[in-house]
Amino acid sequence: MTQTKLDRILLLCLRLGAFFCFAGWTWVHFYWQGPYGILLWQDTTYAWVERFGISWEEFVGTGANDGLIQKWIHRIAWLYLACSILSLTVRHKSHLQMAALIGGSVLLMGLAYAKYLAIQSQFPMFIEHGGQMLIPIILVMALVFGVRHRVTVRTAMAALIMTFAGHGLYALGYHWPTPAIFYGMTAVILQVEHDTVRIFLHVVGTLDFVVCIGILIPLWRRPCMLYAAVWGFLTALARPVAGMSMSLNYWGADHYIHEVILRAPHFMIPLYLFFLWRKPQENEGLQLAAK
């Protein structure tokens, strides 16, 4: 495999990661609702909006009709849809598209912040969204500076560390309680008792931190990234595996499939780094084989 081909694969990892992340959130905003209520539906936000002469009922609705909040939360879906498409179409010199993708990243930051507030300001909730928040920026960096550029790679490493550190903190239950859904999904999928689940989460939580450290040690990087890609995919897949059922409408797909899709950065960023850090001799061997 030539360096150019490999670079294309690296870029494809980032493109697909960003595309699926935005596409998943588009579904959430279209079909369900974005989690911004806690940011918008409060007195302090209204005090700011009121300066523009907007009445309370215009802002939150009359009761019989939607207000600005409901309308705009729904309209944000279009921005996510646009970002999904731009993730696939953006090219090296598409400055506007790149700017829009960075805007998409800001949207994701706002979303992660809202989720963080909604769960009583639990730090792991915000940082576990690192991969999702940063993947559009990493994609833009890869286009502007190159997929192997130091800034691109380090940002990807930071994104991965954020995601895995967030998950690890939650899995270990250190300072912030382990989300009960972690227990539920594990118990349902593995069909094991609570005590076993607790041990399992401690082990995988520790491994999350091994990944965060391993990424900084050249010798450990590749196996860590392989594990991270597989584990990131499995944890994303856990939602539908645990929740979907033949007895539900559409097998419950409308509730669960987007949960895998929007978590694409959790396994696409490690995959990008795994391919990036292929040993040169492997590349050469592949090139010879191709000839």
Partner 1 sequence: MKLQSFLTFCCAALVFVGAADAQQNKKKKRKPRAVLAIPKVEKKDIICFALYTVDVTTLKLTAQLYPIPKGESKEVRLEIEQDGKWVEAAKVSVIEQGWTAPFRVENWDDSKSQKYRVAHGTEAFYEGMIRKNPIDKDEIIVAGYTGNSIQPAHGGDISRQDLIDNVKRVDADVLFFSGDQVYDHHKHYAAWLKFGRDFGEIIKDRPTICLPDDHDAGQPNLWGESGKVSTLPGAADGGYIQPGSYIQEVERAQTSHLPDPVDPHKIGQGIGVYFTNLNWGNVDFAILEDRKFKTGPAGRVPKQGPRPDHIRNPEYDPASVDVEGAVLLGERQLKFIDNWSQDWRHANMKVALSATIFCGGAHIHGNANGRLHADMDSNGWPQTGRNHALEGLRKGFAFHFAGDQHLATIFHHGIDEHRDAIWSFCLPSIANLYLRWWDPLEPGLNREPGAPDYTGDLFDGFNNKVTNYAAANPEKKPAGNVLNTRAAGFGIVRLNTKTREITMECWPRNVDVTDPSAKQYTGWPRTISQFDNYSPPSWGKLGELTFDVENPVVQLIDAESKEILYTVRARGKTFVPGAPKGKAFIVKVGENTPDTVVSEEAKVGGEAQTVTLN
Minimum distance of partner 1 from residue 247's CB (angstroms) = 8
- The yes or no reply on residue 52 touching partner 1 (CB under 8 A) is no
Q: d(Cα 220, Cα 214) in Å, to the nearest integer?
A: 5
Beta partners for residue 61, in sequence order: 66
Token duo for residue 200? 């399992």
Site for partner 1 in 198-257 (CB under 8 A): 239, 242-243, 245, 247-250, 252, 254-256
- The yes or no reply on residue 263 touching partner 1 (CB under 8 A) is no
Query: Amino acid identity of 156?
Result: A
Site for partner 1 in 125-184 (CB under 8 A): 137, 140-141, 144, 177, 180-181, 183-184
Cβ burial 100-118 (10 Å sphere, 16+ → b, else e): bbbebbebbbbbbbbbbbe
Minimum distance of partner 1 from residue 261's CB (angstroms) = 16
Question: Smaller CB distance to partner 1: residue 50 or 284?
Answer: 50
Q: Do the Cβ atoms of 270 and 228 come closer than 8 Å?
A: yes
Among 163, 167, 165, 156, which residue's Cα sits nearest to residue 130?
A: 163
CA quadruple 175, 199, 213, 129: dihedral sign: negative
The residue from 9, 12, 54, 187 that contacts partner 1 (CB under 8 A) is: 187
Residues near partner 1, by CB under 8 A: 31-33, 37, 39, 41-46, 56-57, 60-64, 67, 95, 99, 102-103, 105-106, 109-110, 113, 117, 120-121, 137, 140-141, 144, 177, 180-181, 183-185, 187-188, 194, 197, 239, 242-243, 245, 247-250, 252, 254-256
